[in-house]
Structure 1
Amino acid sequence: MISIRRADERGRANFGWLHSRHSFSFGSYYDPAQMGFSRLRVINDDAVAAGAGFDTHGHRDMEIISYVLEGCIAHKDSSGNEEVLSAGEFQLMSAGSGIYHSEYNPSSSKPLKFLQIWIEPNAIGGKPGYQQQNFGRAPGLTLVVSPDGAEGSLTIKQDACLYQLWLGQGEGAELALAPGRKAWVQLVEGKLSVNGERLAPGDGAALSDEERLSFSATQPVRALVFDLP
Protein backbone atom coordinates (compact mmCIF):
# COMPACT_ATOMS: atom_id res chain seq x y z
CA MET A 1 0.00 0.00 0.00
CA ILE A 2 1.30 3.43 -0.96
CA SER A 3 0.08 6.84 0.20
CA ILE A 4 1.55 9.98 -1.37
CA ARG A 5 2.09 13.20 0.60
CA ARG A 6 2.35 15.84 -2.11
CA ALA A 7 4.74 18.76 -1.67
CA ASP A 8 2.00 21.39 -1.95
CA GLU A 9 -0.11 19.65 0.72
CA ARG A 10 2.52 20.15 3.42
CA GLY A 11 2.15 22.67 6.22
CA ARG A 12 3.77 26.09 5.88
CA ALA A 13 5.68 28.43 8.18
CA ASN A 14 7.08 31.83 7.22
CA PHE A 15 8.99 33.88 9.78
CA GLY A 16 10.81 36.05 7.28
CA TRP A 17 14.23 34.62 8.06
CA LEU A 18 12.82 31.05 7.90
CA HIS A 19 10.58 29.47 5.29
CA SER A 20 9.59 25.91 6.14
CA ARG A 21 7.38 23.15 4.77
CA HIS A 22 6.20 20.50 7.24
CA SER A 23 5.40 16.96 6.10
CA PHE A 24 3.89 16.29 9.54
CA SER A 25 2.30 18.41 12.28
CA PHE A 26 4.89 20.75 13.76
CA GLY A 27 4.84 24.06 15.62
CA SER A 28 1.73 26.04 14.73
CA TYR A 29 0.83 23.61 11.92
CA TYR A 30 -1.49 20.89 13.19
CA ASP A 31 -3.27 18.20 11.21
CA PRO A 32 -4.50 15.18 13.21
CA ALA A 33 -4.17 13.06 10.07
CA GLN A 34 -0.48 13.97 9.73
CA MET A 35 1.19 13.19 13.07
CA GLY A 36 4.06 11.15 11.66
CA PHE A 37 4.59 7.74 10.13
CA SER A 38 5.79 4.78 12.19
CA ARG A 39 8.59 6.26 14.35
CA LEU A 40 9.22 9.09 11.88
CA ARG A 41 7.82 12.19 13.56
CA VAL A 42 9.17 15.24 11.68
CA ILE A 43 10.39 16.11 8.19
CA ASN A 44 10.83 19.87 7.85
CA ASP A 45 12.11 21.33 4.59
CA ASP A 46 13.81 24.51 5.87
CA ALA A 47 15.24 27.55 4.07
CA VAL A 48 17.19 29.93 6.36
CA ALA A 49 18.20 33.43 5.31
CA ALA A 50 21.85 34.53 5.33
CA GLY A 51 23.09 35.39 8.82
CA ALA A 52 19.96 34.01 10.54
CA GLY A 53 19.19 30.85 12.44
CA PHE A 54 17.73 29.06 15.41
CA ASP A 55 18.75 30.46 18.80
CA THR A 56 19.75 28.09 21.61
CA HIS A 57 16.87 25.74 22.45
CA GLY A 58 16.47 22.35 24.07
CA HIS A 59 15.49 18.81 23.08
CA ARG A 60 15.23 15.49 24.86
CA ASP A 61 14.39 11.89 23.95
CA MET A 62 14.51 12.41 20.19
CA GLU A 63 16.89 11.36 17.40
CA ILE A 64 17.39 14.49 15.24
CA ILE A 65 18.89 14.23 11.77
CA SER A 66 19.88 17.23 9.67
CA TYR A 67 20.76 16.87 5.98
CA VAL A 68 22.27 19.95 4.34
CA LEU A 69 21.05 20.58 0.79
CA GLU A 70 22.61 24.00 0.13
CA GLY A 71 24.91 26.26 2.12
CA CYS A 72 26.24 25.51 5.61
CA ILE A 73 24.98 25.04 9.18
CA ALA A 74 26.98 26.37 12.11
CA HIS A 75 26.13 24.08 15.05
CA LYS A 76 26.89 24.57 18.74
CA ASP A 77 25.55 22.51 21.63
CA SER A 78 25.71 22.08 25.40
CA SER A 79 27.84 18.92 25.08
CA GLY A 80 30.72 21.01 23.73
CA ASN A 81 30.27 20.23 20.04
CA GLU A 82 30.91 23.19 17.75
CA GLU A 83 30.88 22.21 14.08
CA VAL A 84 30.08 23.45 10.59
CA LEU A 85 28.10 21.19 8.25
CA SER A 86 28.46 21.75 4.52
CA ALA A 87 26.15 20.75 1.68
CA GLY A 88 25.86 16.97 1.44
CA GLU A 89 26.63 16.30 5.11
CA PHE A 90 24.41 14.46 7.58
CA GLN A 91 24.24 15.19 11.29
CA LEU A 92 22.66 12.90 13.89
CA MET A 93 22.10 14.38 17.32
CA SER A 94 20.76 12.03 20.00
CA ALA A 95 19.06 14.31 22.49
CA GLY A 96 18.93 11.66 25.22
CA SER A 97 18.31 13.07 28.71
CA GLY A 98 18.53 16.61 27.35
CA ILE A 99 20.66 18.85 25.17
CA TYR A 100 20.67 22.52 24.14
CA HIS A 101 21.88 23.64 20.73
CA SER A 102 21.81 26.46 18.20
CA GLU A 103 21.90 26.32 14.40
CA TYR A 104 22.85 29.27 12.21
CA ASN A 105 23.51 30.11 8.60
CA PRO A 106 27.04 31.55 8.86
CA SER A 107 27.03 33.04 5.35
CA SER A 108 26.47 36.75 4.88
CA SER A 109 25.02 36.26 1.41
CA LYS A 110 24.00 32.66 0.66
CA PRO A 111 20.85 30.90 1.86
CA LEU A 112 20.87 27.66 3.82
CA LYS A 113 18.55 24.83 2.84
CA PHE A 114 18.31 21.62 4.84
CA LEU A 115 15.98 18.83 5.89
CA GLN A 116 15.33 18.50 9.61
CA ILE A 117 14.17 15.01 10.58
CA TRP A 118 13.02 13.67 13.95
CA ILE A 119 12.78 9.97 14.76
CA GLU A 120 11.42 8.73 18.09
CA PRO A 121 14.02 6.65 19.97
CA ASN A 122 13.46 3.14 21.33
CA ALA A 123 15.14 4.07 24.65
CA ILE A 124 14.66 7.25 26.64
CA GLY A 125 17.24 9.14 28.67
CA GLY A 126 20.92 8.40 28.44
CA LYS A 127 23.85 10.56 27.46
CA PRO A 128 23.31 12.87 24.48
CA GLY A 129 25.35 12.07 21.38
CA TYR A 130 26.61 13.81 18.25
CA GLN A 131 27.67 12.37 14.87
CA GLN A 132 28.43 14.00 11.51
CA GLN A 133 29.48 12.60 8.13
CA ASN A 134 29.40 13.17 4.38
CA PHE A 135 28.53 9.97 2.50
CA GLY A 136 29.37 11.26 -0.95
CA ARG A 137 27.29 10.79 -4.07
CA ALA A 138 27.69 7.13 -4.95
CA PRO A 139 25.00 6.00 -7.39
CA GLY A 140 22.17 3.92 -5.97
CA LEU A 141 21.40 3.43 -2.28
CA THR A 142 23.94 4.29 0.43
CA LEU A 143 23.27 3.44 4.07
CA VAL A 144 23.49 6.63 6.14
CA VAL A 145 21.88 5.74 9.48
CA SER A 146 21.37 2.36 11.14
CA PRO A 147 20.88 0.93 14.66
CA ASP A 148 24.30 -0.77 14.66
CA GLY A 149 26.47 1.59 12.60
CA ALA A 150 26.70 -0.91 9.74
CA GLU A 151 28.80 0.02 6.71
CA GLY A 152 30.20 3.05 8.50
CA SER A 153 26.76 4.61 8.98
CA LEU A 154 25.68 6.87 11.83
CA THR A 155 24.20 5.00 14.81
CA ILE A 156 20.62 5.71 15.86
CA LYS A 157 18.68 4.68 18.97
CA GLN A 158 15.88 3.04 17.00
CA ASP A 159 15.32 0.00 14.80
CA ALA A 160 15.40 2.21 11.71
CA CYS A 161 17.65 2.75 8.72
CA LEU A 162 18.07 5.75 6.44
CA TYR A 163 19.52 5.57 2.93
CA GLN A 164 20.43 8.30 0.51
CA LEU A 165 19.48 7.57 -3.09
CA TRP A 166 21.24 9.05 -6.12
CA LEU A 167 20.11 8.00 -9.59
CA GLY A 168 20.90 9.25 -13.06
CA GLN A 169 18.21 9.58 -15.69
CA GLY A 170 16.98 6.13 -16.70
CA GLU A 171 18.66 4.41 -13.75
CA GLY A 172 16.95 2.30 -11.10
CA ALA A 173 17.47 0.61 -7.74
CA GLU A 174 15.69 -1.80 -5.41
CA LEU A 175 15.44 -2.25 -1.64
CA ALA A 176 13.95 -5.34 0.01
CA LEU A 177 11.80 -4.84 3.10
CA ALA A 178 11.49 -7.43 5.86
CA PRO A 179 7.95 -8.60 6.74
CA GLY A 180 6.07 -6.01 8.79
CA ARG A 181 8.45 -3.17 7.95
CA LYS A 182 7.34 0.21 6.62
CA ALA A 183 9.11 2.74 4.42
CA TRP A 184 9.03 6.45 3.70
CA VAL A 185 10.59 7.98 0.57
CA GLN A 186 11.28 11.73 0.50
CA LEU A 187 12.20 13.11 -2.91
CA VAL A 188 14.64 16.03 -2.80
CA GLU A 189 15.13 16.61 -6.53
CA GLY A 190 14.35 15.01 -9.87
CA LYS A 191 11.48 12.79 -10.95
CA LEU A 192 11.14 9.35 -9.38
CA SER A 193 8.83 6.37 -9.69
CA VAL A 194 8.42 4.24 -6.53
CA ASN A 195 6.59 0.96 -7.09
CA GLY A 196 4.82 2.58 -10.00
CA GLU A 197 3.85 5.82 -8.20
CA ARG A 198 5.40 9.02 -9.53
CA LEU A 199 6.97 11.57 -7.20
CA ALA A 200 7.98 15.19 -7.77
CA PRO A 201 10.42 17.21 -5.62
CA GLY A 202 9.12 17.65 -2.07
CA ASP A 203 6.74 14.69 -2.32
CA GLY A 204 6.83 11.91 0.24
CA ALA A 205 5.58 8.34 -0.10
CA ALA A 206 4.44 6.20 2.84
CA LEU A 207 4.65 2.48 2.09
CA SER A 208 3.39 -0.47 4.12
CA ASP A 209 2.78 -4.15 3.32
CA GLU A 210 5.32 -3.97 0.51
CA GLU A 211 8.02 -6.62 0.08
CA ARG A 212 10.28 -4.50 -2.08
CA LEU A 213 10.82 -0.91 -3.14
CA SER A 214 11.54 -0.43 -6.84
CA PHE A 215 12.96 2.94 -7.88
CA SER A 216 13.16 4.36 -11.39
CA ALA A 217 14.41 7.85 -12.32
CA THR A 218 13.00 9.75 -15.28
CA GLN A 219 15.22 12.71 -14.34
CA PRO A 220 18.38 12.66 -12.15
CA VAL A 221 17.24 11.94 -8.60
CA ARG A 222 18.30 12.71 -5.05
CA ALA A 223 16.08 11.18 -2.34
CA LEU A 224 16.03 9.85 1.21
CA VAL A 225 14.64 6.37 1.94
CA PHE A 226 13.61 5.34 5.47
CA ASP A 227 13.23 1.67 6.51
CA LEU A 228 11.03 1.80 9.62
CA PRO A 229 9.56 -0.56 12.22
Structure 2
Amino acid sequence: MKKLVHKAGSRGFANHGWLESAHTFSFANYYNPERIHFGALRVLNDDTVQAGMGFGAHPHDNMEIVSIPLEGALEHKDNTGRHKIINSNDVQIMSAGTGIVHSEYNASKTAPVKFLQIWVFPKSKGIQPRYDQKTFDPADRRNKLQTVVSPDESPETLQIHQDAWFSLGNFDAGQSVNYKLNKKGNGVYLFVLNGSVEVEGEKLDTRDAIAIEDADQVDIKANEDSNYLVMEVPMLLN
Protein backbone atom coordinates (compact mmCIF):
# COMPACT_ATOMS: atom_id res chain seq x y z
CA MET A 1 0.00 0.00 0.00
CA LYS A 2 1.23 3.47 -0.92
CA LYS A 3 -0.03 6.43 1.15
CA LEU A 4 0.39 10.17 0.70
CA VAL A 5 -1.20 12.68 3.08
CA HIS A 6 -2.22 16.11 1.81
CA LYS A 7 -2.77 18.47 4.74
CA ALA A 8 -5.39 21.20 4.37
CA GLY A 9 -2.80 23.96 4.60
CA SER A 10 -0.72 22.49 1.77
CA ARG A 11 -3.34 23.30 -0.85
CA GLY A 12 -3.16 26.26 -3.20
CA PHE A 13 -5.37 29.19 -2.17
CA ALA A 14 -6.96 31.96 -4.21
CA ASN A 15 -9.04 34.88 -2.96
CA HIS A 16 -10.80 36.86 -5.67
CA GLY A 17 -13.13 38.69 -3.29
CA TRP A 18 -16.30 37.13 -4.66
CA LEU A 19 -14.62 33.70 -4.69
CA GLU A 20 -12.35 31.92 -2.22
CA SER A 21 -10.96 28.64 -3.50
CA ALA A 22 -8.61 25.99 -2.14
CA HIS A 23 -7.00 23.85 -4.84
CA THR A 24 -5.90 20.32 -3.96
CA PHE A 25 -4.33 19.94 -7.41
CA SER A 26 -2.71 22.45 -9.77
CA PHE A 27 -5.37 24.81 -11.08
CA ALA A 28 -5.47 28.31 -12.58
CA ASN A 29 -2.61 30.32 -11.01
CA TYR A 30 -1.66 27.53 -8.59
CA TYR A 31 0.94 25.16 -9.99
CA ASN A 32 2.68 22.38 -8.12
CA PRO A 33 4.46 19.81 -10.31
CA GLU A 34 3.94 17.18 -7.59
CA ARG A 35 0.21 17.91 -7.39
CA ILE A 36 -1.10 17.71 -10.97
CA HIS A 37 -3.61 14.89 -10.51
CA PHE A 38 -4.22 11.61 -8.70
CA GLY A 39 -4.87 9.07 -11.40
CA ALA A 40 -8.08 10.14 -13.15
CA LEU A 41 -8.84 12.72 -10.44
CA ARG A 42 -7.73 16.01 -11.98
CA VAL A 43 -9.38 18.79 -9.90
CA LEU A 44 -10.66 19.05 -6.34
CA ASN A 45 -11.57 22.65 -5.60
CA ASP A 46 -13.09 23.70 -2.29
CA ASP A 47 -15.00 26.86 -3.24
CA THR A 48 -16.89 29.58 -1.39
CA VAL A 49 -18.86 31.99 -3.62
CA GLN A 50 -20.34 35.16 -2.17
CA ALA A 51 -24.04 36.01 -2.42
CA GLY A 52 -25.26 36.78 -5.92
CA MET A 53 -21.87 36.04 -7.51
CA GLY A 54 -20.57 33.18 -9.61
CA PHE A 55 -18.84 31.81 -12.67
CA GLY A 56 -20.10 33.32 -15.93
CA ALA A 57 -20.65 31.23 -19.06
CA HIS A 58 -17.52 29.25 -19.93
CA PRO A 59 -16.77 26.10 -21.98
CA HIS A 60 -15.64 22.61 -21.02
CA ASP A 61 -14.93 19.50 -23.08
CA ASN A 62 -13.86 15.91 -22.43
CA MET A 63 -14.12 16.06 -18.66
CA GLU A 64 -16.47 14.58 -16.05
CA ILE A 65 -17.44 17.39 -13.67
CA VAL A 66 -19.06 16.74 -10.29
CA SER A 67 -20.42 19.52 -8.05
CA ILE A 68 -21.35 18.87 -4.42
CA PRO A 69 -22.89 21.81 -2.49
CA LEU A 70 -21.93 21.72 1.19
CA GLU A 71 -23.81 24.83 2.30
CA GLY A 72 -26.32 26.87 0.29
CA ALA A 73 -27.32 26.32 -3.33
CA LEU A 74 -25.89 26.69 -6.84
CA GLU A 75 -27.75 27.93 -9.90
CA HIS A 76 -26.73 26.11 -13.10
CA LYS A 77 -27.41 27.21 -16.68
CA ASP A 78 -25.98 25.77 -19.89
CA ASN A 79 -26.24 26.15 -23.65
CA THR A 80 -28.76 23.31 -23.95
CA GLY A 81 -31.32 25.53 -22.23
CA ARG A 82 -31.03 23.67 -18.93
CA HIS A 83 -31.61 25.76 -15.80
CA LYS A 84 -31.32 23.98 -12.44
CA ILE A 85 -30.85 24.73 -8.75
CA ILE A 86 -28.44 22.40 -6.92
CA ASN A 87 -29.06 22.36 -3.16
CA SER A 88 -27.23 20.89 -0.20
CA ASN A 89 -27.65 17.10 -0.26
CA ASP A 90 -27.80 17.27 -4.06
CA VAL A 91 -24.98 16.06 -6.28
CA GLN A 92 -24.60 17.20 -9.89
CA ILE A 93 -22.66 15.54 -12.69
CA MET A 94 -21.92 16.89 -16.13
CA SER A 95 -20.17 14.98 -18.91
CA ALA A 96 -18.69 17.78 -20.99
CA GLY A 97 -17.86 15.39 -23.85
CA THR A 98 -17.69 17.11 -27.22
CA GLY A 99 -18.29 20.47 -25.55
CA ILE A 100 -20.69 22.38 -23.34
CA VAL A 101 -20.95 25.99 -22.15
CA HIS A 102 -22.34 26.58 -18.67
CA SER A 103 -22.49 29.05 -15.80
CA GLU A 104 -22.70 28.47 -12.05
CA TYR A 105 -23.88 31.17 -9.67
CA ASN A 106 -24.72 31.38 -6.00
CA ALA A 107 -28.51 30.95 -5.96
CA SER A 108 -28.77 33.19 -2.88
CA LYS A 109 -28.60 36.99 -2.81
CA THR A 110 -27.86 37.04 0.93
CA ALA A 111 -25.66 34.09 1.93
CA PRO A 112 -22.51 32.44 0.52
CA VAL A 113 -22.52 28.99 -1.07
CA LYS A 114 -19.82 26.44 -0.31
CA PHE A 115 -19.27 23.55 -2.70
CA LEU A 116 -16.77 21.07 -4.07
CA GLN A 117 -15.93 21.25 -7.76
CA ILE A 118 -14.38 17.95 -8.90
CA TRP A 119 -13.04 17.03 -12.36
CA VAL A 120 -12.33 13.49 -13.48
CA PHE A 121 -10.69 12.51 -16.77
CA PRO A 122 -13.27 10.51 -18.80
CA LYS A 123 -12.93 6.92 -19.91
CA SER A 124 -13.10 8.02 -23.55
CA LYS A 125 -13.30 11.32 -25.39
CA GLY A 126 -15.89 12.77 -27.72
CA ILE A 127 -19.04 11.49 -26.03
CA GLN A 128 -22.38 13.30 -26.20
CA PRO A 129 -22.59 15.92 -23.42
CA ARG A 130 -24.79 14.79 -20.54
CA TYR A 131 -26.17 16.32 -17.33
CA ASP A 132 -27.81 14.84 -14.27
CA GLN A 133 -28.40 15.62 -10.63
CA LYS A 134 -29.90 13.78 -7.70
CA THR A 135 -30.91 14.44 -4.09
CA PHE A 136 -29.42 12.04 -1.55
CA ASP A 137 -30.87 11.48 1.92
CA PRO A 138 -28.14 12.14 4.53
CA ALA A 139 -29.79 9.57 6.81
CA ASP A 140 -28.58 6.92 4.34
CA ARG A 141 -24.95 7.75 5.10
CA ARG A 142 -25.17 7.77 8.90
CA ASN A 143 -22.38 5.48 10.07
CA LYS A 144 -22.06 3.97 6.60
CA LEU A 145 -20.89 4.97 3.14
CA GLN A 146 -23.47 6.18 0.63
CA THR A 147 -22.38 5.79 -3.00
CA VAL A 148 -23.47 8.86 -4.97
CA VAL A 149 -21.48 8.46 -8.22
CA SER A 150 -20.69 5.23 -10.08
CA PRO A 151 -20.17 3.95 -13.65
CA ASP A 152 -23.49 2.11 -13.47
CA GLU A 153 -26.83 3.08 -14.93
CA SER A 154 -28.74 2.95 -11.67
CA PRO A 155 -31.54 4.92 -9.99
CA GLU A 156 -29.45 4.85 -6.81
CA THR A 157 -26.43 6.79 -8.11
CA LEU A 158 -25.36 9.33 -10.71
CA GLN A 159 -23.55 7.79 -13.66
CA ILE A 160 -20.01 8.88 -14.51
CA HIS A 161 -18.22 8.10 -17.76
CA GLN A 162 -15.28 6.52 -15.94
CA ASP A 163 -14.59 3.50 -13.71
CA ALA A 164 -14.95 5.72 -10.65
CA TRP A 165 -17.04 5.64 -7.49
CA PHE A 166 -17.74 8.53 -5.08
CA SER A 167 -19.15 7.85 -1.62
CA LEU A 168 -20.15 10.16 1.24
CA GLY A 169 -20.14 9.17 4.91
CA ASN A 170 -21.32 10.80 8.15
CA PHE A 171 -19.82 8.87 11.05
CA ASP A 172 -20.20 9.17 14.79
CA ALA A 173 -17.09 9.21 16.95
CA GLY A 174 -15.62 5.73 17.29
CA GLN A 175 -17.41 4.28 14.27
CA SER A 176 -15.38 2.48 11.61
CA VAL A 177 -15.87 1.26 8.07
CA ASN A 178 -13.85 -0.93 5.72
CA TYR A 179 -13.96 0.40 2.17
CA LYS A 180 -13.48 -2.36 -0.40
CA LEU A 181 -12.38 -1.12 -3.80
CA ASN A 182 -14.71 -1.85 -6.69
CA LYS A 183 -12.00 -2.36 -9.31
CA LYS A 184 -8.50 -3.75 -9.00
CA GLY A 185 -5.82 -1.22 -9.81
CA ASN A 186 -7.92 1.77 -8.75
CA GLY A 187 -6.75 4.19 -6.08
CA VAL A 188 -8.65 5.96 -3.30
CA TYR A 189 -8.58 9.66 -2.45
CA LEU A 190 -10.31 10.42 0.86
CA PHE A 191 -11.16 14.04 1.69
CA VAL A 192 -12.32 15.00 5.19
CA LEU A 193 -15.17 17.51 5.05
CA ASN A 194 -15.14 18.03 8.80
CA GLY A 195 -14.07 16.20 11.92
CA SER A 196 -11.12 13.89 12.51
CA VAL A 197 -10.54 10.39 11.13
CA GLU A 198 -7.84 7.76 11.09
CA VAL A 199 -7.14 6.13 7.73
CA GLU A 200 -4.72 3.21 7.69
CA GLY A 201 -2.86 4.64 10.68
CA GLU A 202 -2.81 8.25 9.40
CA LYS A 203 -4.69 10.94 11.38
CA LEU A 204 -6.60 13.42 9.24
CA ASP A 205 -8.48 16.52 10.34
CA THR A 206 -10.93 18.84 8.59
CA ARG A 207 -10.01 19.36 4.91
CA ASP A 208 -7.03 17.01 5.13
CA ALA A 209 -6.85 14.23 2.55
CA ILE A 210 -5.03 11.00 1.83
CA ALA A 211 -4.16 9.34 -1.48
CA ILE A 212 -3.89 5.55 -1.38
CA GLU A 213 -2.61 3.22 -4.10
CA ASP A 214 -1.95 -0.51 -4.34
CA ALA A 215 -4.72 -1.51 -1.94
CA ASP A 216 -7.81 -3.69 -2.17
CA GLN A 217 -9.44 -2.17 0.88
CA VAL A 218 -9.07 0.81 3.21
CA ASP A 219 -9.87 1.00 6.94
CA ILE A 220 -11.39 4.28 8.13
CA LYS A 221 -12.22 5.21 11.73
CA ALA A 222 -13.88 8.40 12.98
CA ASN A 223 -11.99 9.85 15.96
CA GLU A 224 -14.85 12.32 16.44
CA ASP A 225 -18.12 13.00 14.62
CA SER A 226 -16.93 13.33 11.02
CA ASN A 227 -18.08 13.72 7.43
CA TYR A 228 -15.91 12.69 4.51
CA LEU A 229 -15.85 11.95 0.79
CA VAL A 230 -14.22 8.83 -0.67
CA MET A 231 -13.28 8.99 -4.36
CA GLU A 232 -12.15 5.76 -6.03
CA VAL A 233 -10.59 6.40 -9.44
CA PRO A 234 -8.44 4.58 -12.03
CA MET A 235 -4.73 5.23 -11.61
CA LEU A 236 -3.87 4.62 -15.28
CA LEU A 237 -5.18 7.07 -17.87
CA ASN A 238 -6.25 5.99 -21.34
| TM-score, with structure 1 as normaliser | 0.97
For 1:94 and 1:79, locate their aligned partners in 2 and report how far apart those are by CA, in whole Å: 13
SS in 2 for 1:186: strand
SS in 1 for 2:224: strand
SS in 2 for 1:76: strand
Map 1:206-225 → 2, pairs under 5 A: 206-225=211-230
Q: Which residue of 2 aligns with 1:143?
A: 147
Contact 1:72 1:87 in 2 (8 A): yes
- Residue 85 in structure 1 maps to residue 89 in structure 2: no
SS in 1 for 2:84: strand
Question: Aligned partner of 1:222: which letter?
Answer: N
Q: Which residue, 186, 189, 196 being the options, matches 1:184?
A: 189
Contact 1:143 1:151 in 2 (8 A): no
Shift of 1:151: 6.1
Shift of 1:184: 0.4
Q: How many residues align?
A: 229
Q: Which residue of 2 aligns with 1:100?
A: 101
Shift of 1:106: 2.1
Q: Which residue of 1 aligns with 2:122?
A: 121
Shift of 1:150: 4.3
Q: Which residue of 2 aligns with 1:173?
A: 177
SS in 2 for 1:219: coil
Identity %: 41
Map 1:1-229 → 2, pairs under 5 A: 1-137=2-138, 138=140, 139=142, 140-150=144-154, 152-177=156-181, 178-229=183-234
Deviations, residues 72-92 of structure 1 (Å, cap 9, x unaligned): 101001122100011121000
- Unmatched tracts of structure 2, length 5 or more: none
Question: Aligned partner of 2:129: which letter?
Answer: P
- Unmatched tracts of structure 1, length 5 or more: none
Range 162-171 or range 49-58, more displaced: 162-171
SS in 2 for 1:97: coil
Question: Aligned partner of 1:224: which letter?
Answer: L
For 2:205 and 2:168, locate their aligned partners in 1 and report how far apart those are by CA, in whole Å: 16
For 2:114 and 2:208, locate their aligned partners in 1 and report how far apart those are by CA, in whole Å: 16
For 2:216 and 2:176, locate their aligned partners in 1 and report how far apart those are by CA, in whole Å: 17
Range 135-144 or range 95-104, more displaced: 135-144
Question: Aligned partner of 1:26: which letter?
Answer: F
Shift of 1:220: 1.3
For 2:85 and 2:208, locate their aligned partners in 1 and report how far apart those are by CA, in whole Å: 28
Range 129-138 or range 10-19, more displaced: 129-138
Deviations, residues 139-170 of structure 1 (Å, cap 9, x unaligned): 21111111113461111111111111111111
Question: Aligned partner of 2:74: which letter?
Answer: I
Deviations, residues 14-33 of structure 1 (Å, cap 9, x unaligned): 11000000000000101111
For 1:31 and 1:194, locate their aligned partners in 2 and report how far apart those are by CA, in whole Å: 25
SS in 2 for 1:8: helix
For 1:150 and 1:166, locate their aligned partners in 2 and report how far apart those are by CA, in whole Å: 23
Shift of 1:62: 0.2
Shift of 1:115: 0.3
Range 17-26 or range 132-141, more displaced: 132-141
For 2:152 and 2:107, locate their aligned partners in 1 and report how far apart those are by CA, in whole Å: 33
